[in-house]
Amino acid sequence: MDAVATTSFIHAFEPGTDANRTPLLLLHGTGGDERDLLPLGRMVAPGAALLSPRGQVLEGSMPRFFRRLSEGVFDEDDLRRRTHELADFIKDISRQYGLAAPVAVGFSNGANIAASLLLLRPEVLAGAALLRAMSPFAKPPRADLTGKRVQLLSGAFDPIVPADDAERLATTLASNGAAVDHRTVPTGHGLSQADIGLLKTWLDKA
């Protein structure tokens, strides 16, 4: 698919009001932007600091976090490069805002790069909630995810993410030491009230 890169991470930041809340890194899906997941962040983690970057790749006019070759087929070289760029941004901007390592909350394309962050740069995240994620790599790298909590929320009727692919991602993360909570909700690729309830409960335990 045709894609061009922009040059820097435009982002939104909302300071936290609850020091006990872990900051959230909000990662939008294809065609979203830095504002898309802010309402979700406020809903599931009231009082948490919210950091929400815009993807640097354009597919047509739609922002993404990395290139894909077709639906469900990722440009893994670009994914690796973009993952390291995003990780460096997270480190730098967290230092600037005085944030602890955040929990990523990613949807679709954002969930896929969050999974990639866990496998390539786990030190920048405290954990991750992966909403409609796929396995980002055909041959996943090894990573030490000991102590990382991961929630994976899949859609029972998702036409984009095959059930066995999501299960493979859950197995990959767990085999690297993550504490994985994989749930399947009765919906498609879009988010539902069931997702919001499960995510809020999971975050409340962070």
Catalytic site includes residue 189? yes
Catalytic site includes residue 158? yes
Q: Which of 52, 108, 135, 154 is catalytic?
A: 108
What letter does residue 139 receive in the DSSP assignment? S
User: CA end-to-end span of the chain, whole Å?
Assistant: 38
Q: Please give the backbone phi and psi of residue 83, each rounded to the nearest 5 degrees, phi first.
A: -65, -45
Q: Please give the backbone phi and psi of residue 58, each rounded to the nearest 5 degrees, phi first.
A: -110, 125
Q: Which of 78, 165, 189, 192 is catalytic?
A: 189
Written as six digits, the tokens of 12 are 């939104």
Which CA distances in Å does 83 have to 49, 124, 150? 22, 11, 18
Q: Which of 28, 52, 154, 158 is catalytic?
A: 158
What phi-psi label fits residue 129: left (phi over 0), alpha (psi between -120 and 50 degrees) or beta? beta
Q: CB–CB of 78/67 below 8 Å? A: yes
- Residues in CB range of 171: below 8 A, 6 or more apart: none
Written as six digits, the tokens of 45 are 């983690």
The set of catalytic residues is 108, 158, 189
